[in-house]
Amino acid sequence: MQLPDVKVLAGPILKKLTVNEVTLWLVTTQPVSISVTLTPDGHEAQTYNLNQNKSDSEIVSNPEHRCIKSGEHLYIHLIHIRLTTPLPADCWIGYQLGFTCIDSTSIKLTDLLTDICYPHRSTPGFVIHSRLRKILHGSCRKPHHDSPDGLVIADKLLAEIGGDVTQWPSLLMMSGDQIYADDVAAPMLTAIHSVIPTLGIANETFTQSNVPDSHALHNAQALYNKRVKILPSDASSQTLRIPLFKSAEKPVFTTVHANNHLVSFAEMITMYLLCWSPECWSMASTVMPQSIDEQNMASYQAELVLIEQFISGLNRTRRVMAHLPCPMMFDDHDVTDDWNLTADWEQTAYGNAFSRRIIGNALMAYLLCQGWGNAPEKFSDELLDNIQLSLNDLGAAQHNLTIDQLLDFEQWHYHWPTCPKLLVLDTRTQRWWSESNLNKPSGLMDWESLTELQQTLINEPAVVLVSPAPIFGVKLIEAIQRVFTRLGKPLMVDAENWMAHPGSANYLLNLFTHRQTPQNFVILSGDVHYSYAYHVKIKRRRNSPDIWQITSSGLRNTFPENLLNWLDRLNRWLYAPYSPLNAFTKRRNMRVTPLKPSHASAGERLVNGSGIGLVELDEAGKPVLISQLLVDEQIHFILDD
């Protein structure tokens, strides 16, 4: 099937944005020349005519517009304009994109996407805030989870604010698990396979696999609900399962939901398109495949209802991401559950050609869809050229070499020059291995990356620090994880916490006590599928910094409700301020005060519900409002001073 007219398959998504640079990400079905017109309120419009494409086979790029051809009808664009005249802050700046196709026909973004604007606006737009006053943040967005979508709630907030755009949040921080590559509903995988031929993504060959190539994987050997049969494993597979923590059986792909784990690059990239935009759904089919066996038919239909609910909000998801800058960072489910949890996991996963390819494909899709726009200056022309060469011949030697390059890449972390500074941590690829036992949890950052972080923090008065996994977590859950780690089973309880590794935990806690680091730390996290807020002070220290651990999870995911209620109460009983158990934690020299949610009964401190977090900061970078926006209520965490 050929797509005759240019379509915007995903985006535009606002990425890195300052008064001196504008970054936009989008996907089209054809190579196009793009012009960008910026119209600040009260100022003349500025138009930037970017590259001129000459033919389908000759994509001419310049530093302001790079295009990666990922399929016959799949062109990923990153527009990164460095401005000679700064844009004004704290006012509406409308933008319009113009597309010129290879046949010289032209069309505007607003003609292609008629629902991209908010009411009473003729174009999409944004505000560059001089200070970070309001931040939306969230993580963990699983399409087939039975709950509302936090990004739709974010869109509702912007629509309700209306014309006073100075009251808009400054950022929409997405702190991990933007997709679930390892936990895919059968109807979603069916839709992915139905869209791939239309996009014209090249065939990918596999080695060390029971499946020869992606054509077989997407058709004859699709193995709906049965992909565990082809995922790598070895004789050391662990059999213990603790349903409480959604734990693991296999040493490589440890999720218990791996039955539809994405494998090929085509599956990974198409998943992003289907999660961020309604466009590809118009060409998708979710008709139940004949290979679905009778025992899975009912679950297929139930998942399809949830997927259709998810699709119904995608136009609003697309709209909010076109208006708020969207910094992003991966967590494990963007690649695979328990990604790099232990040194033993890494050695097993990267020592197998097939599992190495799966992880590499997820990283390549992450770079193209998320990482690239976070910090365009970090991704060299050489790396992008190698990605393009890999996409021209998936499975060939260059593809493997590019994956090697991505696995060695050390610049996924980044910061934005906001006020306060936004620092986003990579807690997955620069881990601190355990020296005593390769099967113990690795530190979330190694010594070198923590040292670099400390240098970045020095002399900053305040900072917004993004750690996908909470730095200050629920002590009871961490204690349970510690017990299973000592039993040699860290994968069984997803021991993904900062305190699990002594070296990185002690370095990090010492960092907060350094007298040249910020007075106000706001830590934004996700990962855990519930939300909470802590205020942390250093004991016996005058002028202690104020540390705020603010966790919002998930955008479309929740924790088992009754179980969370019990864990919440037990944690309060066992780790009350004067409990002797606190002496056995690494945070014994810190006073950690959980903030009470406004709707909570006695003892409740954790919020369970899909939504999105909202934080408001004062001039000093200190929170004055911490809340969780759910579909039908706004829950405030009661500040303790």
- Taking only the tens place, the pLDDT of each residue in 406-454 is 999 999 999 999 999 999 999 999 988 877 777 777 888 888 999 999 9
What SS3 string covers 43-111?
CCCEEEECCCCCECCECCCECCEEEEEEECCEEEEEEEEECCCCCCCCCEEEEEEEEEECCCCEEEHHH
Q: Which amino acid is at 67?
A: C
Q: Tens digit of pLDDT for each residue in 147-188?
A: 999 999 999 999 999 888 889 999 999 999 999 999 999 999
Instruction: Calculate mean pLDDT across residues 342-369.
Output: 93
The arithmetic mean of pLDDT across residues 6-30, rounded, is 96
Q: pLDDT above 90 covers what percent of the chain?
A: 64
How far is the C-alpha of 420 from the C-alpha of 136, rounded, in Å? 15
Q: What is the pLDDT of residue 246?
A: 34
Among residues of the chain, what percentage have pLDDT more than 70?
Answer: 87
Q: What local confidence, expressed as pLDDT, does residue 8 receive? A: 97
Give me the pLDDT at residue 256, please.
58
pLDDT interval class at 342 (50, 70, 90) = confident
pLDDT tens sequence across 569-602: 777 777 666 666 666 566 667 788 889 999 877 6
Q: Is the pLDDT confidence value at 247 over 60?
A: no
Higher pLDDT pick, 90 / 563: 90
Q: Token digits for 459?
A: 């002399």
pTM of the entire predicted model: 0.92
Range of weakest confidence among 14-18, 349-353, 492-496: 492-496
What is the structure's pLDDT at 586? Answer: 60
* Residues 408, 187: Cα–Cα separation, whole Å: 35
Distance CA 256, CA 245 (A): 10
Question: CA 450 to CA 443: how far, in whole Å?
Answer: 10
pLDDT, mean over the chain: 87
- Of 235-244, 364-373, 431-440, 505-514, give the lowest mean pLDDT range: 235-244
pLDDT for res 236:
39
pLDDT at 60: 45
Beta-sheet strand order (sheet of 8-18)? 8-18, 21-28, 74-82, 65-71
Q: pLDDT tens digit string along 477-522?
A: 666 655 544 544 444 445 566 776 677 778 888 888 877 888 899 9
What does the pLDDT look like over 21-62, one tens digit per residue?
Answer: 999 999 999 999 999 999 999 898 999 988 644 444 444 456
**10 Å Cβ neighbour count for 226?**
15
What is the structure's pLDDT at 496? 64
Determine the Cα–Cα distance for residues 182 and 271; give it in Å rounded to an integer: 11
108-132 pLDDT, tens digit per residue, is 999 999 999 999 899 999 999 999 9
Residue 538 has pLDDT above 50, yes or no: yes
Binned at pLDDT 50, 70 and 90, residue 474 comes out as confident
pLDDT over threshold 60, residue 245: no
Residues 6 or more apart whose CB falls under 8 angstroms from that of 18 comprise 128, 416, 417
pLDDT of residue 481: 56
Inter-CA distances, 311 with 273, 307, 404, Å: 12, 6, 35
